[in-house]
């Protein structure tokens, strides 16, 4: 049996031997449901036409989210991530309206399309009454599109061109100076790049985030375009927020991304994402490459992957179901973040089988789904959240146990994160495959429950487990003694 000494000690004591700050630890046990505020729910539960290609506001609001908190909570989530809340530029650009919230105009006002300050506080209170957390998306790197002096005059508080880096579009992503000092966008829509070297601007932004967190009782912030701001800007900004900070560092390379885990609590783990879709999209996908990138991140990120956010979909990337219609492969991909060291994040609509491709197609209105709960992927997500919660309840050290890969073959991948064992495969719905997992530290004879099928098996005399699949479905095992109620309720 390959039982590492550190893990043996952790198992023996079953303590969470973590030195992470409290706020990160509090977030670690959560799972997050990401919504685009404009697209998640209409107040009063109505429906309205919403054509993603139009890139226009569709009418979702904070009150709409409040009305649908039962839906989110029933899925098993205990935190939500909402779109940026500040007032954005009005009007229609080549790339539509600012319905996504990433084009700030006045950081001291709210985006009135989403509701009032009272509505936002009401959302925060409604979440807290359910012991759920509120994560708000914030953008520091840029303001909205600026092409004239009138654009700058409309910005608050940075109302002059001198508060921004001189206009130049980013052309070379391998040149970090270019990435930090030049502007995102193109000739048609270029985003004014805030001069985050200016001391008054730094102080202003730090004060702003401190009041924003306090005014709206925010529990965590997701920070946009983190790699486009100098690294040493971030520690004071994070400290000023006083809460959990997770940054978007859109890059495939763990070494590049790792640096940002030293200035924020965590990153949105793009390196895992880059390997995830290709690994499961076809039966020739490379599951070793997926395991390898995770092992690299575990070694190079400040606290391993603990405290980072892990996702399979988000608003910037095509949905997995736009790349394959195979439900078994889709279920493997949906499951992966839930047995990962990071905090699982599900992008709204994945549970409803949404299939949108590149932005803006991946920003569908959820009201068009009817929020139906009797659905295959909805049930899948509920089961995954319930299993993760049962694992945490069984042993808090689950949260600080690094995931291991006791089996990696051309078409199978086993992820062991005591007390969970997940078996993945990319063979697809019509494929047959088997797993032969060795080297777990389940005691021989332990009774395990497979949470999707609700069937039971026993760990063999050497601590191993063999399993067969004729449908390409993932499998997830938890000791039958764990407080997992989902099978009983069926
Ligand atoms: C500047 O952008 C706005 C939209 O952001 C557009 O309405 C206006 O026509 C543009 N002006 C110029 C000179 O390109
Ligand atoms: C990197 O980008 C900056 C800003 O655009 C530019 O001034 C500099 O020459 C570039 N360096 C290299 C090595 O290309
Ligand atoms: C799969 O990925 C691993 C790790 O990155 C690599 O060593 C291997 O060559 C890849 N296999 C194929 C078939 O591409």
What kind and span of H or E run contains 330?
Answer: helix 327-335
CATH fold for the domain made of 405-489 = Immunoglobulin-like (2.60.40)
Residues within 6 Å of ligand 2 by CB: 168, 175, 177-178, 181-182
- The rounded Å distance from CA 411 to ligand 2 centre is 44
Ligand 3 centroid distance, CA of 299 (Å): 19
Question: How confident is the prediction for the chain on average, in pLDDT?
Answer: 94
Q: How far is CA 428 from the centre of its chain?
A: 25
CA distance 171 to 179: 8
Question: How many residues are given for the chain?
Answer: 490
Closest atom, ligand 1, to C-alpha of 92? 4
Which ligand 2 atom sits closest to the C-alpha of 175? 1
Please state, in angstroms and rounded to a whole number, the distance separating the CA atoms of residues 134 and 127: 7
* pLDDT bucket at 22, cuts 50 / 70 / 90: very low
Q: To the nearest 10°, the Cα dihedral for 113, 118, 122, 125?
A: 130
pTM (2 d.p.):
0.94
Q: Look up 224 and say whether it is catalytic.
A: yes
- In CATH, the number for domain 5-394 is 3.20.20.80
How many Cα atoms within 13 Å fall on the side-chain side of residue 279? 26
The domain locations on the chain are 5-394, 405-489
Given a cut of 70, whether residue 7 has pLDDT beyond it is: no
Q: What is the pLDDT of residues 413-433, one digit of tens each?
A: 999 999 999 999 999 999 999
Alpha carbon nearest to ligand 3 atom 12, residue = 286
Nearest CA to ligand 3 atom 4: 289
Distance 142 CA to ligand 1 centre (A): 17
Among 271, 272, 289, say which to mutate for ligand 3: greatest number of ligand atoms within 8 Å of CB. 289
Check 119, 248, 313, 364 and give the catalytic one. 248
| Predicted pLDDT at 10 | 41
State the Cα–Cα distance between residues 194 and 229, nearest whole angstrom. Answer: 9
Does the CB atom of residue 289 touch ligand 3 within 6 A?
Answer: yes
Which member of 119, 137, 193, 224 is catalytic? 224
- pLDDT for 144-157, tens place per residue? 999 899 999 999 99
pLDDT at 17 over 80: no
404 in catalytic set: no
């Amino acid at each position: 049996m390959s039982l590492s000494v550190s893990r043996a000690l952790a198992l023996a004591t079953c303590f969470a031997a973590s030195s992470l700050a409290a706020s990160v630890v509090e977030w670690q046990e959560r799972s997050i449901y990401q919504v685009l505020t404009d697209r998640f729910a209409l107040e009063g539960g109505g429906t309205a036409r919403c054509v993603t290609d139009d890139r226009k506001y569709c009418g979702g609001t904070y009150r709409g989210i409040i009305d649908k908190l039962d839906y989110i909570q029933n899925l098993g989530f205990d935190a939500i991530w909402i779109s940026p809340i500040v007032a954005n530029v009005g009007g229609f650009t080549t790339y539509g309206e600012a319905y996504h919230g990433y084009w700030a105009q006045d950081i001291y006002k709210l985006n009135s399309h989403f509701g009032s300050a009272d509505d936002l506080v009401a959302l925060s209170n409604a979440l807290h009454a359910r012991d759920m957390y509120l994560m708000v998306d914030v953008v520091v790197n840029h303001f909205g599109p600026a092409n004239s002096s009138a654009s700058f005059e409309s910005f608050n508080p940075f109302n002059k061109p001198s508060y921004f880096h001189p206009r130049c579009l980013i052309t070379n992503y391998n040149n970090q100076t270019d990435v930090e000092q030049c502007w995102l966008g193109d000739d048609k829509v270029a985003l004014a790049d805030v001069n985050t070297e200016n001391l008054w601007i730094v102080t202003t932004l730090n004060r702003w985030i401190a009041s924003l967190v306090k005014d709206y009782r925010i529990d965590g912030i997701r920070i946009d375009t983190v790699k486009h701001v100098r690294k040493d800007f971030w520690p004071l900004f994070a400290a000023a927020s006083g809460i959990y900070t997770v940054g978007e560092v859109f890059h495939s390379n763990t070494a590049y991304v790792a640096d940002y885990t030293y200035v924020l609590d965590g990153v949105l783990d793009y390196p895992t994402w880059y390997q995830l879709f290709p690994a499961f999209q076809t039966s020739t996908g490379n599951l070793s490459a997926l395991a390898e990138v995770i092992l690299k991140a575990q070694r190079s990120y400040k606290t391993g992957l603990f405290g980072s956010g892990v996702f399979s979909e988000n608003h910037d990337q095509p949905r997995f179901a736009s790349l394959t219609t195979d439900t078994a492969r889709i279920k493997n991909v949906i499951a992966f973040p839930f047995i990962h060291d990071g905090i699982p994040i599900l992008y709204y609509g994945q549970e409803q089988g949404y299939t949108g491709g590149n932005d803006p197609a991946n920003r569908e209105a959820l009201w068009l789904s009817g929020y139906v709960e009797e659905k295959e992927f909805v049930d899948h997500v509920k089961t995954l959240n319930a299993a993760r919660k049962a694992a945490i309840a069984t042993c808090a050290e689950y949260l600080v146990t690094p995931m291991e890969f006791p089996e990696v073959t051309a078409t199978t991948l086993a992820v062991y994160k005591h007390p969970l064992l997940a078996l993945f495969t990319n063979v697809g719905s019509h494929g047959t495959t088997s797993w032969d997992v060795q080297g777990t530290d389940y005691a021989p004879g332990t009774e395990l429950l497979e949470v999707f099928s609700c069937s039971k098996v026993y760990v063999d005399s050497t601590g191993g487990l063999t399993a067969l699949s004729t449908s390409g479905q993932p499998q997830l095992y938890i000791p039958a003694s764990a407080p997992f109620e989902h099978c009983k309720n069926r």
